[in-house]
Amino acid sequence: MPEKQHKVAIIHDWLTGMRGGEKVLESLLDIYPDSDIFTLIWLKGSVSDKIEKQRITTSFLHKAPFIRNNYRNYLPLFPMAIESFDLAGYDLIISSSHCVAKGVIPQPGARHICYCYTPMRYIWDMYFQYFGKPRNRLAGFIYGSVANYLRMWDVTASSRVDEFIAISNHVSQRIRRYYGRASTVIFPPVDNEFYRPVSDKPLAEPYYLVVSGLVPYKRIDLAIEAFNQTGKKLIIIGEGPEKNRLIKMAKGNISFLGWASNQDLRKWYSHCEALIFPGEEDFGIVPVEAQACGRPVVAFGRGGALDTIIHGSTGIIFPEQTAASLIEALDTHEATKYNTNTIIENSHRFSKNVFIGKIRQYIMQNC
């Protein structure tokens, strides 16, 4: 059956850097190269040429004061901004959404498919991790009122979506919990053509590896606590507001390298004893990149890790988010014999070609 031709609008929350969502956006553009992009704000030069050469429409927030470095402070205005887009003439709307993109208002007769990275974390299960304890009662009242309004809007906006696609089974469960909607799981693409084993000599003595933003919910503190006790060498690649606190926690067997280039990161992946993944993620691209480089992963057993890691075959899952549980998992890992080809083959389930094929087939069947 020939593929139907659509006039396509892709709605993306914001364009401020190249992260996992922007990699998905690039793959959507491979499927619909003539599509138009609508986004709250766009910091020119912050994303790839492939994205920036498209016709991009921004919201009124794009010209708001101090928006470049403080766009998250405008969160209460995001719903109004996303609803301001005129989508007349588009018969297929694809929202690439972890925040408000799914809340656009399609024209009558248009089909709206949401590729959902997560229901908005800021207002649902990670509200307190993001906003912290209010400084006083007035701040608590304001934060609570805004969050309550955004939760009501978020549920209402979800009804504008015809079909949800979730990035993992974990996110699919959250979509059902918060929106009462079913969803289909299609894993996001990972560049396993670039991430592959390299034969350069190891960059350090035997080491374990963490690759992560240094923010509280990533639980890098847990990895540090465990490796402080074992004395094994741990290398941490990443930056973030928790860095100074984590450095003060760490003993001499733990090194912080800051950010690394993709080329260097591939080398660090390829020679590590295992990647350590102590947080709970909606999907988690880093564990798949490590497996694409032939290395196993020791991960906390919740969230997307349950989709990407095969316990005892491509890594070890530990059940409790504690240092003791992680240490026990390290012992299990070191007693496990892995097949490198099996680990690499597992990463192929998440390739860009697989993603494009499944999205294309899904849209053909549902539009």
Q: What is the CATH number of the domain that holds 246?
A: 3.40.50.2000
Distance between CA atoms of residues 186 and 115, nearest Å: 9
15 within some domain? yes
User: Does 162 lie in the same domain as 28?
Assistant: yes
Domain hosting 286: range is 208-349
Check: CB of residue 282 under 8 Å from CB of residue 304. Answer: yes
Number of neighbouring beta carbons within 10 Å of residue 127: 17
For 81-91, the pLDDT digits (tens) are: 999 999 999 99
Specify the pLDDT at position 67.
Answer: 79
Does residue 196 lie in a domain region? no
249 three-class SS? helix
CATH number of 19's domain: 3.40.50
Statement to judge: residues 50 and 112 lie in one domain: yes
Q: Is residue 243 part of a domain?
A: yes
Tell me the pairing of strands 8-12 and 254-258. Answer: unpaired
Residue 333 lies in a domain: yes
The reply to whether 48 and 69 lie within a common domain is yes
Supply the mean pLDDT for the chain: 91
Structural domain includes residue 42: yes
Residue 202: what pLDDT?
A: 65
Write phi, then psi, for 119 (nearest 5 degrees).
-60, 150
- My answer on whether 169 and 305 are in the same domain is no
Residue-wise pLDDT tens digits, 140-170: 666 667 778 889 999 999 999 999 999 999 9
Same domain (yes/no): 130, 214: no
Give me the half-sphere count of Cα atoms (radius 13 Å) on the Cβ side of residue 272: 32
Does residue 1 lie within any of the structural domains? no
Whether 131 and 111 share a structural domain: yes
For 172-225, the pLDDT digits (tens) are 999 999 999 999 999 999 998 899 999 877 666 899 999 998 988 899 999 999
Q: What pLDDT is attached to residue 65?
A: 85
> Domain for residue 200, yes or no?
no
220 and 336 inside one domain: yes
What is the Cα–Cα distance from 104 to 86, expressed in whole angstroms? 9
Q: Is 131 within the bounds of a domain?
A: yes
Q: Which two tokens stand for residue 93?
A: 């709307």
